[in-house]
Structure 1
């Protein structure tokens, strides 16, 4: 149908599979950037717990955005928080509202993230978009319905 012999078609398929497999293999640059993203998220966690606004500002892109999802069931920022400094101040303010939480580094959506636990229950999951050495976007899920998978098992 395509004007090629069965042997030629097998060769094309084999070559295509090799190219796909090679493109999926992590490179050392990819591994380094994944490690760097994890470092940035860890630094964010430490600065957040220390209430270090200046360190958070350095970690956040000046044009960063943070979005919270409470699903109307729990409190969350009603509108996106825009800018590195406002986001830093917002997160530091949260520490005083819930001083008895545990913040854990976990994989969220396949990337480094944070899980906030209180009284043996997950109360928030944070995902980050990191560009270079700075956080450009923070998504905070607080909706208990969406956190159900994080509270089972």
Structure 2
């Protein structure tokens, strides 16, 4: 049985474009009215909320710029498909993703390390 992890889903397409830092590919997978909400807690990455595919794509690239050497992986975030951001074997961010049809409609990112402690328990 295939799961969301093994299919080419909008979340997977977003991950692959984000990993390659491809602005045009990110814009293509994002809904024109996509939204990004970020809980950075003022402690790590300070990225403002964004609306629209270009603004959201640019903000996602800014997150990677602020976290050099970070890696992205598909993961389950709040019981839904999402993306886990790791740096030096620690989870430094999670992104819950919801899609509308073939495009990503909304993203909720938590980049506040204090809220990610349970992700880093061994």
Q: Determine if the TM-score, normalized by the shorter chain, exceeds 0.5.
A: yes
Per the TM alignment, residue 36 of structure 1 is displaced from its structure 2 partner at its CA by 9.3
Within-5 A mapping of 1:25-36: none
RMSD: 2.3
Separation of aligned partners in 2, 1:33 and 1:121? 26
RCO comparison, higher one (Cα < 8 Å, 6+): 2
Instruction: Determine which structure has the larger helix proportion and give its number.
Output: 1
Answering whether residue 71 of structure 2 is matched by residue 127 of structure 1, we say: no
Q: Unaligned 5+ residue runs, structure 1? A: 1-30
Q: 2:16 aligns with which of 32, 46, 56?
A: 46
Answering whether residue 55 of structure 2 is matched by residue 86 of structure 1, we say: yes
Partner SS for 2:46: coil
The superposition leaves residues 21-71 of structure 1 with CA deviations (integer Å, 9 ceiling, x where unpaired) of: xxxxxxxxxx99957986211111110111111111111111111011012
CA contact (8 A) 1:37 1:133 kept: no
Moved more, 66-75 or 104-113: 66-75
Answering whether residue 81 of structure 2 is matched by residue 141 of structure 1, we say: no
Moved more, 34-43 or 126-135: 34-43
Per the TM alignment, residue 122 of structure 1 is displaced from its structure 2 partner at its CA by 0.7
CA contact (8 A) 2:93 2:109 kept: yes
Partner SS for 1:128: strand
Partner SS for 2:41: coil
Partner SS for 1:91: helix
The superposition leaves residues 84-141 of structure 1 with CA deviations (integer Å, 9 ceiling, x where unpaired) of: 1111122123333333111111111111111101011110000001111111111110
CA contact (8 A) 2:23 2:57 kept: yes
CA contact (8 A) 1:38 1:112 kept: no
* Count of matched residue pairs: 122
Misfit runs of 4+, over 4 Å:
31-38
TM-score of the superposition, structure 2-length normalised? 0.87
C-alpha change, 1:92 and 1:73, in structure 2 (3 Å) is: closer
Instruction: Determine which structure has the larger strand proportion and give its number.
Output: 2
Larger Rg: 1
